[in-house]
Structure 1
């Protein structure tokens, strides 16, 4: 058994002037896979470099205990760290970004990454944090936020799209098989995904992808961790000052206007309850409502043991994105134990929104029918601070860079129930792939 190596870290946070665009701070010469992001509507965190990671420390990144091992590694790192934080806001001080594989057996297990530099802003305040290993007693220099050179704004040069594990023409037959298994009583719902491979003549620029996603999909959380890049509309769990929140999405319909708008309506960031939405009829088919109910119930059942109270709205609202409408429900409650945000994310994963019901049976069906390793697609992705508070989304609308950054696997899926239509499910994956196609400069 490998004993994890625990780094001793020093983090220093200083307040800085707010930035028009956090992505402008990321140097152009950093490794694309080292770029880190968690940004929504101009607020959030970006980072680069690597001060430490749970994988490098020898902590297992695969298996059913991957979340618990990473969480314990973080507790131990925090216990030995020196933290100087003059702001004491969510995202200041010592911070780790993380992403985890959907399946415990995946070799791409993921883990936690501590960057060397973190820049953040929220509610008109901005900061920069430097993080380094404690090797001597010298005082670290103050972190500086410097303007980076421009990243490429044009299409990714020499880019081509290729079939993934299951070609698009074969996807309806995969869905038909899943429906047969549902009708046979094997499973109530299963979420199936397919991949597409984007190949480029040169390294794909992570910052360019992030900027495009953030500009077009402002209502989502634009993320990057270890080469996993995307814009997720689904907040798996937020823990902040004892308050627990989760946004559940399930049930999707394509927008009927063309071209789609470049911006979306503002959405409360899980802070305010949503009123009844007259557009519910757009996505209120029996199939959508059934799929959504499964997802909400699975999240509520997972959060209840960790909450002193939990509010589950009776009716969903409509989340508007440039390409689609989603049925959405925001759950909120008061924390009832000492679970960290990562502990809560582990308890929630996999929800019915990305796996199915019952989850164990659905996971086996996913492994059989998808014919691929999802890697960290549909797994938890986000960040956490020294207190254990943080945000964890579900890695959706995303792509995974290869080791040399010349190719990226793009993913999209949908929930399958007895009322699903195979051709409509293929169309839904095409719509969901539009986000990463746009990010790569291929339009919608």
Structure 2
């Protein structure tokens, strides 16, 4: 694990005039962290502390690192927040970032929290990326369709019930991509989603994996998607309902050892800008002392992003996908000193690197899936970032 800590860790909090455009507050550069929903949330910059974790046990090791940092802050820890983005599997790099400057907006009020000697910076103009050129990622579109067809064949043989397969798409722009530009455009187009940024991974996810507030845990499970019509046909389709039920059951089984009074509401249809999903809301009461990261360790990957049975799906993904997911489709969000916070699933996202962006999209595949339909579904999911970059 790699750790970067500040020399001075004093925490200061002060209320500021409520801003109408939080995206303009950070300075330029890619060290922006954010978690926003419908104009409310947090945006920060700079690094008061940084923790990078690779290999097995990433959630437990991240939790220990965060707990140690909170202990060092002492009484000031109540105002500290860490932004987290985890790798999809043990091969990747997970990161926790505590920003030097954090602006929070909630209930019509805004305040700024600074850690160490940091002071809020004067913002610079948000730059547009210019012309965007697109190219294939790990697999061309037609080849990925063949991969889905092979997965369907294996599913029909009864090897497993569901597998989620992903593909990537590459973008290159005339100018370096300003993360604030992409965040602003995603938030404007997708106010129902949680717009996030952690260590260059930027996106707008519709899926709340886990929210912990004291002993209350909530989640919204999304699985089963359509880009045509209003989505009502999802409720009457056995294949979409099966795909959705697998995802709900995988979450429920993961949290069951830690929770009581588990309730579900759904499925219903969640309609977004260019796609609709089956959605089920889950609520529960914690009965153990597990924190948010402990719950994430138990839940990830759910059948919504991996498949079921979990081990068989992971094996088929490794065999067929030919893609390093990095931090795509893994938990992303924030946590506080008390173990509360929110973790979504990193969907509708791109990893930025200068003037390049790597976009990700995936689909849940069941035995009745049509490979051509699944290809079109990934196109619809890519559209969130594609439209924002081309704004």
Q: TM-score range by the shorter chain?
A: over 0.9
State how far apart, in whole Å, the 2-side matches of 1:176 and 1:3 are: 41
Does 2:210 correspond to 1:237?
Answer: yes
Does 2:88 correspond to 1:102?
Answer: yes
Q: Which runs of 5 or more structure 2 residues have no equivalent in the other structure?
A: none
Three-state SS of the structure 1 residue aligned to 2:386 is: helix
Q: Judging by fraction of residues, say which structure has more helix.
A: 2
State how far apart, in whole Å, the 2-side matches of 1:366 and 1:249 are: 20
Conserved in 2, the CA contact under 8 Å of 1:10 and 1:82? Answer: no
Conserved in 1, the CA contact under 8 Å of 2:274 and 2:380? Answer: yes
- Structure 2 counterpart of 1:63: 55
TM (normalized to structure 2)? 0.95
The 5 A counterparts of 1:243-392 are 243-256=216-229, 280-313=232-265, 315-392=266-343
- Structure 2 counterpart of 1:150: 125
State how far apart, in whole Å, the 1-side matches of 2:308 and 2:174 are: 42
- Structure 2 counterpart of 1:261: none
CA change 1:283–1:164 in 2 (3 A) is farther
CA change 1:221–1:5 in 2 (3 A) is closer
State how far apart, in whole Å, the 1-side matches of 2:56 and 2:301 are: 12
- Structure 2 counterpart of 1:220: 193
State how far apart, in whole Å, the 1-side matches of 2:154 and 2:274 are: 30
Three-state SS of the structure 1 residue aligned to 2:10 is: strand
Conserved in 2, the CA contact under 8 Å of 1:38 and 1:222? Answer: yes
CA change 1:253–1:62 in 2 (3 A) is same
Instruction: Quote the offset at 1:148 in angstroms.
Output: 2.5
Number of equivalences: 390
Instruction: Quote the offset at 1:115 in angstroms.
Output: 0.8
Provide, for residues 210-248 of structure 1, a one-character-per-residue CA deviation record: whole Å limited to 9, x for no partner: 000000100000000000000000001001132101110
Does 2:70 correspond to 1:78?
Answer: yes
Conserved in 1, the CA contact under 8 Å of 2:258 and 2:287? Answer: yes
Does 2:142 correspond to 1:190?
Answer: no
Three-state SS of the structure 1 residue aligned to 2:12 is: strand
Conserved in 2, the CA contact under 8 Å of 1:250 and 1:328? Answer: yes
Does 2:28 correspond to 1:53?
Answer: no
State how far apart, in whole Å, the 2-side matches of 1:284 and 1:45 are: 39
The 5 A counterparts of 1:14-29 are 14-28=14-28
TM (normalized to structure 1)? 0.84
Instruction: Quote the offset at 1:375 in angstroms.
Output: 0.3
Instruction: Quote the offset at 1:5 in angstroms.
Output: 7.2
Conserved in 2, the CA contact under 8 Å of 1:116 and 1:131? Answer: yes
Conserved in 2, the CA contact under 8 Å of 1:83 and 1:94? Answer: no
Provide, for residues 44-95 of structure 1, a one-character-per-residue CA deviation record: whole Å limited to 9, x for no partner: 110111111112xxxxx2222011101111011101114548xx7xxxx111
- Structure 2 counterpart of 1:397: 348
CA RMSD of aligned residues (A): 1.9
- Structure 2 counterpart of 1:276: none
CA change 1:163–1:118 in 2 (3 A) is same
Conserved in 2, the CA contact under 8 Å of 1:300 and 1:312? Answer: no
Provide, for residues 13-36 of structure 1, a one-character-per-residue CA deviation record: whole Å limited to 9, x for no partner: 2222222122121123xx21x110
Instruction: Quote the offset at 1:183 in angstroms.
Output: 1.3
- Structure 2 counterpart of 1:168: 141
Q: Which runs of 5 or more structure 1 residues have no equivalent in the other structure?
A: 56-60, 133-139, 258-278
- Structure 1 counterpart of 2:383: 434
Q: Identify the range of structure 1 (248-257 vs 71-80) with the bigger mean alpha-carbon deviation.
A: 248-257
Does 2:37 correspond to 1:40?
Answer: yes
Three-state SS of the structure 2 residue aligned to 1:413 is: strand
Instruction: Quote the offset at 1:391 in angstroms.
Output: 0.5
Conserved in 2, the CA contact under 8 Å of 1:303 and 1:344? Answer: yes
